[in-house]
Amino acid sequence: MANTPDTIERSVLIKAPRERVWRALADAEEFGTWFRARFEPPHFEPGAHVRARVLFPGYEHVVFDLWIEALDAPERMVYRWHPYAIQAGVDYSAEEPTRVSFTLAEAAGQGTLLTVVESGFSKLPPERRDLAFRMNSGGWEAQLGNITRHLDGQPAAAQ
């Protein structure tokens, strides 16, 4: 546990204009489509607290919270959340949330480079730190694949 990294960073090149990738991130309903969650309220804005129910089969009991910190169109979205907080009946509110940042950059005629960085794992309780890091590390790989497929008009993958 002491060797668990503090930060996950993943990137993907998406063959879509930056403005289109931005809409897939900044619009809560569209974000929910590829992320497989339903947000209430169904909109993101800086300072907002939104709650989401997971729509992935077998995880419908999972409800998670996002605290939106920044929406800097079309370059950056930042929120905080409790990573891998999936155990029914557990109150994660006393834990320090991690910070998730999406950045979008033009990729010289190739589309958009989307990078997600999640940091703050070192502040999680030691008994959850390693598992949350491992699960979110793989989770971001899957979610970047999902947003890519979504923007290509394909459904999200079964994870």
Q: List all residues 6 or more positions away from 95 whose beta carbon is below 8 Å from its beta carbon.
A: 82, 85, 123, 124, 125, 128
Has domain 7-26+69-151 been given CATH number 1.20.1250.20? no
pLDDT value at residue 1:
44
User: For the chain, which ranges sit under pLDDT 70?
Assistant: 1-2, 158-159
Q: What is the model's pTM?
A: 0.94
* Distance separating alpha carbons of residues 39 and 142, to the nearest angstrom: 20
pLDDT recorded at residue 88: 87
Which pLDDT does position 154 carry in this prediction?
83
The pLDDT value recorded for residue 158 is 65
